[in-house]
Structure formats: structure tokens, C-alpha cells
Amino acid sequence: MREVAVIGVGMSPWGELWRSSLRDLFAQAALEAMKDSGAPRIDSMVVGCMSSGLFNGQEHLGSLMADYAGLRGIPATRVESACASGGAAFRTGVLEVASGASDFVLVGGVEKMTDVSGDAATRALSAASDFEYEAYQGATFPALYAMVARAHMDRYGTTRKQLAMVAVKNHENGLLNPRAQFRQRISVDAVLGSVMVADPLRLLDCSPITDGAAAVVLCPKELAVKLKKKPLIKVAGIGQASDCIALAQRKDITRFEAAALAAQRAYKAAGIGPDEVDFAEVHDCFTIAEICVLEALGFCKTGQGGRFTEEGHTSRLGRKPINPSGGLKSKGHPVGATGVAQIVELVEQLRGSAGERQLSKVRCGLAENMGGTCGSAVVSILTREGA
């Protein structure tokens, strides 16, 4: 396998963008990433998107987006793995470069979620659950994650306040991110006083509905060296895993097996362990999700995710900064774009170009992107080479 580098990144604005269409958003991110990359051409494209069919009446995104990004004719494929669509697209693109089939591959992610009613959006998102056993029975994602939260609190003594502290920390980070959808400081009291969505999860425990796109350009490491990309950002390892998607079929709903398995595979490929990871972007679609993921990635012991958060280890200045971008909670969560945007954040931090939110001395970053209640997960580890 050829080693793969990330040589360009781009993002559209994120938010409620009623004046931009699905293709507008994608093209903005793609053009920015291509310009940033300095690539002489794009050989192939992969688009991550969860449900443009239900949100926009539009499938066939590979060709549509290639055309509107000025790349008509190239192979272009859409990849879907619910909210892990962006991460799965990134892995698909990395394998295409690694195989030798293509040199310069654009990987983008996009979702345009605000053109339908809240009810229709909830139904579209519930297509990430097991339709026959969950969605059809009325279970929505806040309800499913609420069951995970309740079980975690019951089994490990995780507190309502610890959940709130995930949201407070991510909003604090998002304040420094000009691209974040919600740049506002919130307090633990504000979370605890926000409207109940699915007990114990309240509005400020939940990531928002967002329109947005993100894109990256990949190439073999040796071509990145020729293009004089400094610092050189290398894909050190990727792991992907699946699980049953219905919570009722799991042995332990507080343990995110797919994230743990994907992380093991990524660590093995990169030849490192969790201690060598300097910072991470993780899939905080709900506050409880970030807590479960901290455990699955091996950043803390099983059951200790809430305490690890409360002790401040995951803050910008802690020993394992988590979601310096603001995460899904503050930056927004256009589902198909999220996994690609996590890679954008890793690259900007590793390049030292993250502006006000720049972390100090980071050489190794990890992105964890997951679908549904962790029915699928992709973990990517990126490292900065050289000085």
C-alpha cells in the first residue's frame, strides 16, 4: 500500500443556509480544498452524504457534485454510512490512493438539512436507526441516546452535570472557531435549564440541524513531497467497524463496540496507542456520545468518561483536548459532512494554521466519526511529519 497524505482542505459556511443549495455548498468546499492543495488535477472523487434522497429528493451525488466542482468526467462515487458517511468516504478515498488506481483524490462530505420541516428531518435522520425495529416503532435518535445516557448514569454513576460539561466545553471551543454554527458561551445551568428533549437529554445536550460541506484532497506521500507540502500531513492509520444498528440487540448499550474496534484497527495501522494521540475530534452528536467515545478510544477507563470530562482533561488546556473545533455541538452537524470536517480540523491543527483555536505542540490527531448509535464507526489518525 502506498502511504497517503492530505494536501488540501476546504469548508463551506455552516449553518441555516437557505440561500445555498446542496450543490452550492459542496462546490464551495471542493473548490477551496483544490485551491489549497496545489494539486495539478483531480483523478477521482468520493462524496459522503447520508440522506440527500430524503432531505433533497436527490441521489446520484457523485456525478452531480463532480460536475458542479468543474470535474465532469472523473470517476465520482457517493458513500453512505449514516452520520459516519464522511469518515467512510475519507477511508474510501484513502484506499483508492493507496491502491495506486488514482493519485489525486478529492473527498467531500455534504448535507443540506434545513430545507425540510423539523419533523421530516427527524424522520430522515431516523433512517440511520434500524427502521423495522426502531424508527417504525417511534424511536428517534434523542430517545435512543437518552437510553444510553440513563444506562451509563445508572451503571457508572455518571452525573447529569458531567453530561452538561461536555456541551459547555465544546461551546467554549466553538467560540474560537469562525466557522462554528453556534458561537455562544453556555453554562452548566443553561444546559440543565434548557427544554427537555428525551429524559435525561435536554436541548443543549443535542447537536443541531445544519447545512454544510467539507472537503479534502489526498495524494501519495511521495507526490506531496514533490509538491513541497510543508508540513506534510500523513494518514498514519484508519480503522472502520460495524455493529448491529439496533440498540436492543446489544449486550451493553453503554459500550460503543464499533468505535472501540475501529480505534484498535487504526492504532494498529499507525503503530501507536491512545497515549500518543495529542488531541481528537470525536462524534459528540449528544453529550453522552462524547463520554462513551472517550472510553471506546481508550482515553480513559470504562465508565470514567464523565469524570474524565469533569476533571478538565478534555478541555483545550487539558492533557487530551477533545473537539477543539467546537465539535458537532457548537460547530454544527451536517451529517454527511461531519466526518470530513473532522479531518479538516486535524489538518489545520497539525499545520499550525488553526488561528485562535490552535493547540500547542500537536503532532498526532485522531478523528472518530460514527453512524447512528455507533452502528458504524471510522477512526482516522493523522500525523505531522518532520519539524
Active-site residue set: 83, 333
SS3 202: strand
- Closest CB to a copy of itself among residues 19, 228: 19
**Smallest separation, CB 88 to a copy of itself (Å):** 5
**Least separation, in Å, of the C-beta of 335 and a copy of itself?**
10
Q: Which is nearer to a copy of itself, 258 or 354 (CB)?
A: 258
130 or 295, CB closer to a copy of itself?
Answer: 130
Distance (Å, whole) CA 304 – CA 66: 44
The least distance separating a copy of itself from the CB of residue 244, rounded to whole angstroms, comes to 5
Contact 39, 6 (CB under 8 A): no
Grid look-up 466542482 returns: 69
Closest CA to 230 of 321, 347, 370, 337: 347
* 99 or 353: CB nearest a copy of itself: 99
Which of 126/210 has CB closer to a copy of itself?
A: 126
Could you give the 3-state DSSP secondary structure of residue 61?
Answer: helix
Distances (CA, A) of 123 to 50, 118, 129, 136: 13, 9, 10, 10
What is the DSSP annotation of 94-155?
HHHHHHTS-SSEEEEEEEE-TTS-HHHHHHHHHTTS-TTTTGGGT--HHHHHHHHHHHHHHH
User: From its phi and psi, is residue 121 left (phi > 0), alpha (psi between -120 and 50) or beta?
Assistant: alpha
Give the shortest CB-221-to-a copy of itself separation in angstroms: 14
Cβ 258 vs Cβ 376: under 8 Å: yes
| Residues of the shown chain interacting with a copy of itself in the complex, contacts defined by CB under 8 A | 1, 21, 44, 50-54, 56-64, 66-67, 71-82, 88, 91-92, 95-96, 98-101, 123-124, 126-132, 135-136, 239-245, 249, 257-258, 261, 371-372, 375-376
CB 93 → a copy of itself: shortest distance, Å? 10
